[in-house]
């Protein structure tokens, strides 16, 4: 059961603050500008205050708020986009007036265009004598970002992070752009948020910073988030204050995750934590299955696999993941393994590689029930916990013969035990007794012996009608282990309750045979 897309109820939409990211070439002043806005916030009348890094913060002036994402640069931005998350509404492209457009500026423009976000240009460092605002505007025009005062539509603001000039202007411009964009959200519905940072702290457990996209997040809200789930134990803003609720565009730290979510994951409110947990485990299962399938496609085409299966019938398969120190030994191992012949079981190497046994190997082994084989290599410490938790079989070797022997042993271990039946005696039912516990066959052993620990079948007119172990084997009133040829006894097999005169009791033992491949 997946989460349903919500219908947008137009009439319930309200204006929401814009979410802003700073981009630009290195040293052009992104961090300085972000810091200026951040520092402009007043905490309980005390300038500066104690702020914590929450990846985003909100600035309010004259009752209007702007949310700033505080990781500058387009790497974080495109990483989020790669995960399908588009939290940014407006990009402030920072261009130093003394330097003009530089390689990273062009890259940033490309990213903004690909993401279809609005650009506002902050022409920074206008305090410098070398500052040449017109040159920057000319470069913008050449790149289809014609400044508004030149007849284009790109809003440009001249600022100095150093002297703090133009910052109000930039803030107003962001609000103006937001108004043009008509950014709206419904704060009533179930909460949806995008995760922009996540971590796990001792004593606090996993937490994440999300930006609420719609609805309102409350303390106590149950949610699904990627593969994780949870219930908001606490909501904390970037000033370290505990919030009861967080509405659209609010950046908020959410405490109470089952595990650390991924950046870019969408958090969605659910009715109950129980439902969220169920969905989370479904998603985890799904992920495991997906991790598994591309591997198989790599090794064989569908048709090849089909034919192989037909040829092999119901042959068993032992799956291996092989990691070795170098390519040479990996090939040697593969060659040797391919020479192991068996009509009953085949080997399938579902992943092979050079290097240590990793957590990803452990996951694949868990998902596909494979054995991890390491040759002259170690198990990464991160993988150890998973391997222990999931009970994955890991075998490490430094000698190829030992590796082969153990793989053969493991193959044999996969085979169903083979047994041979040895008939040890027969008895004939002479009379049927009715006891309070049910019917018992009164028998005479006609050859060999009956043994209590052996198995027996009831044969009527040459046809077996029951097969099972002894529940009763008696001589007169005594339970006995064995009854020899020529002696009388009472027999009851399992819960069988339907003995007839002249039935034959055939007693046999199963002998375990040594298995071979
Ligand atoms: P980022 O790499 O884009 O984050 O740039 P920074 O904010 O780290 O700034 C790079 C350098 O430029 C620092 O030494 C800042 O002090 C300086 N800087 C930033 N803004 C201004 C400004 O408006 N005027 C002047 N003169 N220097 C600035």
129 CA → ligand 1 middle, Å: 15
Query: Which pLDDT value is given to residue 107?
Result: 77
Answer whether 162's CB lies under 8 Å from 156's CB.
Answer: no
C-alpha dihedral (103, 104, 106, 108), degrees to nearest 10: 170
124 in contact with ligand 1, CB cutoff 6 A: yes
Mean pLDDT of 147-166: 95
Average model confidence (pLDDT) across the chain:
86
**pLDDT at 411 > cutoff 50:** yes
Ligand 1 within 6 A of CB of 104: no
Nearest CA to ligand 1 atom 18: 29
Please tell me the predicted confidence (pLDDT) of residue 79. 66
Alpha carbon distance 147, 231 (integer Å): 47
pLDDT at 317: 87
Ligand 1 centroid, distance to 454 Cα (angstroms): 89
Q: What average pLDDT score do residues 124-138 get?
A: 97
pLDDT the model gives residue 9: 65
Greater confidence (314 vs 461) lies with: 461
CA distance 263 to 249: 17
Query: How far apart, in Å, are the Cα atoms of 507 and each of 154, 426, 462?
Result: 95, 6, 15
Answer yes or no: is the C-beta of 127 below 6 A from any ligand 1 atom.
yes
Q: Are 224 and 45 in contact (CB under 8 A)?
A: no
Task: Report the separation in Å between the CA atom of 295 and the middle of ligand 1, taken as the mean of its atom positions.
Answer: 48
Q: What angle do CA 461, 463, 465 make, to 5 degrees?
A: 110
CA 27 vs CA 30, 104, 121, 203: distances in Å:
7, 11, 16, 38
Between 52-56, 177-181, 329-333, 388-392, the lowest mean confidence (pLDDT) is in 52-56
> Is a pLDDT exceeding 70 seen at residue 405?
yes
Nearest CA to ligand 1 atom 6: 29
User: pLDDT band at 215, cuts 50/70/90?
Assistant: very high
Quote the ligand 1 centre to 47 CA distance (angstroms).
Answer: 22
According to the model, what pLDDT value does residue 297 have? 40
Residues 91-129: tens digit of each pLDDT: 999 999 999 999 889 878 877 877 778 999 999 999 999
Q: Give this prediction's pTM.
A: 0.58
pLDDT band (50, 70, 90) for residue 4: low
501 pLDDT more than 60: yes
Pocket lining: 102 vs ligand 1, CB cutoff 6 Å = no
- Kindly report the CA angle at 16 between 13 and 22, in degrees rounded to 5? 145
d(CA 442, CA 428): 8
Ligand 1 test: best mutation among 29, 98, 124, 169, most atoms within 8 Å of CB? 29
Least confident of 15-19, 131-135, 158-162, 312-316: 312-316
pLDDT of residue 406 exceeding 80: yes
CB of residue 29 inside a 6 A radius of ligand 1: yes
**Per-residue pLDDT at 295:** 45
Farthest CA pair distance, the chain: 122
User: 291-335: per-residue pLDDT in tens?
Assistant: 766 544 444 444 554 455 445 556 788 999 999 988 888 888 998
pLDDT tens digits, one per residue of 227-284: 999 999 999 988 888 999 999 999 999 999 999 898 888 999 999 999 999 999 998 8
Does 165 contact ligand 1 (Cβ within 6 A)? Answer: no
Per-residue pLDDT tens for 383-395?
A: 998 898 888 899 9
**Can you say whether the dihedral through the CA atoms of 248, 250, 254, 259 is positive or negative?**
positive
> So what's the pLDDT on residue 46?
39
Whether 494 shows a pLDDT value over 80: the answer reads yes
Tell whether ligand 1 has an atom less than 6 A from the beta carbon of residue 73. no
Interval 396-404 mean pLDDT: 90
Dihedral of alpha carbons 217, 218, 223, 229, sign: positive
What pLDDT is recorded for position 54?
Answer: 60
| Contact in structure between 411 and 319 (CB atoms under 8 Å) | no
Tell me how far CA of residue 192 lies from CA of 212, 215, 335, in angstroms. 6, 6, 53
Q: Pocket of ligand 1, candidates 25, 161, 163, 166: which has the most ligand atoms within 8 Å of its Cβ, to mutate?
A: 161
The protein residue with its alpha carbon nearest to ligand 1, atom 14, reads 27
CA 33 – ligand 1 centroid, Å: 8
Residue 327 φ/ψ region, left for φ over 0, alpha for ψ in the -120 to 50 degree band, beta for the rest: alpha
Provide Rg for the chain, Cα atoms. Answer: 37
User: Measured between alpha carbons, how far is 437 from 479 in angstroms, rounded to an integer?
Assistant: 15
* Better-predicted residue by pLDDT, 372 or 436: 372
Residue 289 tokens read as 């299955």
pLDDT band at 351 (very low <50, low <70, confident <90, very high): confident
Average pLDDT over residues 61-80: 79
d(Cα 464, Cα 442) in Å, to the nearest integer? 18
Q: Is 161 in the pocket of ligand 1 (CB under 6 A)?
A: yes
Q: How far apart are CA 190 and CA 486, in angstroms?
A: 83
Residue 31 in contact with ligand 1 by CB distance below 6 A? yes
For 196, the token pair is 């922009």
State the CB neighbour count (10 A cutoff) for residue 31.
16
Closest Cα to atom 10 of ligand 1: 27
Query: What's the 34 CA to ligand 1 centre distance in angstroms?
Result: 11
Contacts of residue 145, Cβ cutoff 8 Å, sequence gap at least 6: 109, 119, 121, 152, 154
Q: In what order do the strands lie in the sheet with 316-324?
A: 345-354, 316-324, 371-375, 394-397
24, 27, 94, best to mutate for ligand 1 pocket (most atoms within 8 Å of CB): 27
Q: Is 71 in the pocket of ligand 1 (CB under 6 A)?
A: no
| pLDDT given at position 174 | 97
Model confidence over 27-48: pLDDT tens digits? 999 989 998 888 766 444 333 4
- Of the listed ranges 71-80, 129-138, 268-277, the least confidently predicted one is 71-80
């Amino acid at each position: 059961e997946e989460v349903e897309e919500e219908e947008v109820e137009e009439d319930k939409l309200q204006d929401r603050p814009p979410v802003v990211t700073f981009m630009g070439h290195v040293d052009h002043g992104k961090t300085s500008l972000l810091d200026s806005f951040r520092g402009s916030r007043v905490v309980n009348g005390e300038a500066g205050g104690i702020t914590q890094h929450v990846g985003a913060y909100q600035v309010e002036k004259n009752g209007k708020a702007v949310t700033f994402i505080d990781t500058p640069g387009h790497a974080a931005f495109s990483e989020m986009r790669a995960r399908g998350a588009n939290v940014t509404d407006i990009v402030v492209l920072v261009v130093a007036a003394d330097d003009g457009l530089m390689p990273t500026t062009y890259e940033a423009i490309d990213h903004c265009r690909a993401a279809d976000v609005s650009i506002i240009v902050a022409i920074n460092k206008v305090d410098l004598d070398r500052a040449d605002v017109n040159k920057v505007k000319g470069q913008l025009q050449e790149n289809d970002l014609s400044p508004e005062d030149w007849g284009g539509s790109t809003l440009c603001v001249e600022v100095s992070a150093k002297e703090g000039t133009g910052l109000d202007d930039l803030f107003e411009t962001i609000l103006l752009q937001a108004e043009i964009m008509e950014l709206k959200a419904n704060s009533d519905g179930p909460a949806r948020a995008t995760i922009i940072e996540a971590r796990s702290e001792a004593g606090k457990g996993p937490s994440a910073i999300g930006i609420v996209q719609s609805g309102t997040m409350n303390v106590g809200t149950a949610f699904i988030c990627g593969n994780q789930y949870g219930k908001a134990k606490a909501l904390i803003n970037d000033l370290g204050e505990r919030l009861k609720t967080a509405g659209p565009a609010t950046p908020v730290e959410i405490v109470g995750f089952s595990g650390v979510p991924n950046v870019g994951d969408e958090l969605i409110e659910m009715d109950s934590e129980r439902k969220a947990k169920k969905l989370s485990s479904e998603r985890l299962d799904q992920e495991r299955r997906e991790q598994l399938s591309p591997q198989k496609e790599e090794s064989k085409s569908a048709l090849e696999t089909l034919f192989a299966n037909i040829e092999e019938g119901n042959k068993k398969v032992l799956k291996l993941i092989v990691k070795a120190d170098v390519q040479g030994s990996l090939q040697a191992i593969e060659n040797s393994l391919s020479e192991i012949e068996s009509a009953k079981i085949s080997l399938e190497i579902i992943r092979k590689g050079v290097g240590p046994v990793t957590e990803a190997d452990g996951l694949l082994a868990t998902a596909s029930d494979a054995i991890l084989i390491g040759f002259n290599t170690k198990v990464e410490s991160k993988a150890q916990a998973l391997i222990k938790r999931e009970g994955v079989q890991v075998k490490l070797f430094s000698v190829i013969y030992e590796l082969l022997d153990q793989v053969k042993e493991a193959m044999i271990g996969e085979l169903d035990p083979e047994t041979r039946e040895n008939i040890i005696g027969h008895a004939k039912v002479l009379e049927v007794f009715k006891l309070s516990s049910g019917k018992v066959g009164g028998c005479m052993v006609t050859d060999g012996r009956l043994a209590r620990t052996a198995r027996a079948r009831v044969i009527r007119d040459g046809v077996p009608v029951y097969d099972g172990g002894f529940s009763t084997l008696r001589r007169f009133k005594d339970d006995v282990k064995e009854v020899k040829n020529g002696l009388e006894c009472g027999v009851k097999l399992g819960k069988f309750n339907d003995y007839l005169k002249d039935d034959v009791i055939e007693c046999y033992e199963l002998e375990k045979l040594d298995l071979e491949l």
